[in-house]
Structure 1
């Protein structure tokens, strides 16, 4: 039972830390982020297993983590408030061609990130070509290009 409690506690803690770190970090992983994930994984493994490295304990923890994940997915479907709290809401970065620098700062997204998404999605070259940009809850940036006259 101790393993189940540790598993649920670590899951909740990692979920909270990931949520607080923001969506940008999930969408645009850098080599630093990869190293950080490896360190967190090792630390988490030690916290989850404690002194019990048995196969049974590992299986119990894996089943516990998947069960918590499935339970949260059902809970989010049942409660839009919980889904909003856990996943957040999309953040409008550009609206009607105007950049919201406050939103960019809060989301830790740079103008270069916007331009990269615009180039990749629509082949746009400048910010003037963008009508709207939204940081989605998945961490990706959606770009809506301006309508071409004519």
Structure 2
């Protein structure tokens, strides 16, 4: 099915051959996603971003003919399986998860902003307040119990409980 006449070669791809490559790689990408699990697009940890960028790059090279189909697909499958293995190990071993994905960083608690942690995380006060407005629909820090910079890069807010 993937002979040179049907599949084409990088220097002389026709529109139809490029379309065929695009359709085939769409399904290869979909299968890789199913093998890797939806987590790759869920949490968006550093590991997730690496796999998304690298696999996207390799698959695009197959479409334009800069990479051979079977070796490049095998490389993508290997990366997906490796990502899945690392994800499972991180789920089992907290220390590994903290090492590879990071720990949440407290940004606010006990009624005060932790300025040292904001600076260390390269988050400005304006960015912090913007996240508060977007996530909690308020500018009032008095309604917030705590705020954490998650390993995904998002700021999470825990509202105070009304007693």
What is the aligned counterpart of 1:89 among 91, 103, 115? 103
Aligned to 1:137: 151
TM-superposed CA distance for 1:60, in Å, is 0.9
TM-superposed CA distance for 1:56, in Å, is 0.9
Q: Which runs of 4+ in 1 moved over 6 A?
A: none
After superposition, the C-alpha distances for 1:3-37 in whole angstroms (9 at most, x for unaligned) are xxxxxxxxxxxxxxx95xxxxxx8xxxxxxxxxx9
Aligned to 2:135: 121
Which structure has the larger Rg?
2
Q: Taking structure 1 as reference, are residues 78 and 144 closer, same or farther at Cα in structure 2, changes over 3 Å only? A: closer
Pairing 1:20-31 to 2, within 5 Å after superposition = none
Residue-pair matches, total:
108
- Provide TM-score, normalisation by structure 1: 0.59
What is the aligned counterpart of 1:106 among 107, 120, 135? 120
- Provide TM-score, normalisation by structure 2: 0.55
Establish whether residue 77 from structure 1 lines up as the match of residue 91 from structure 2.
yes
Equivalent-residue separation in structure 2 for 1:75 and 1:145 (angstroms) = 32
TM-superposed CA distance for 1:144, in Å, is 2.9
Unaligned runs of 5+ in 2: 1-44
Root mean square deviation of aligned Cα: 3.0
Kept in 2: contact 1:114–1:133 (CA 8 A): no
TM-superposed CA distance for 1:126, in Å, is 4.2
TM-superposed CA distance for 1:129, in Å, is 4.7
Unaligned runs of 5+ in 1: 1-17, 20-25, 27-36
Equivalent-residue separation in structure 2 for 1:145 and 1:81 (angstroms) = 28
- Higher relative contact order, structure no. (Cα contacts within 8 Å, ≥ 6 residues apart): 1
Kept in 2: contact 1:118–1:130 (CA 8 A): no
After superposition, the C-alpha distances for 1:70-100 in whole angstroms (9 at most, x for unaligned) are 1101111221111110111110001112111
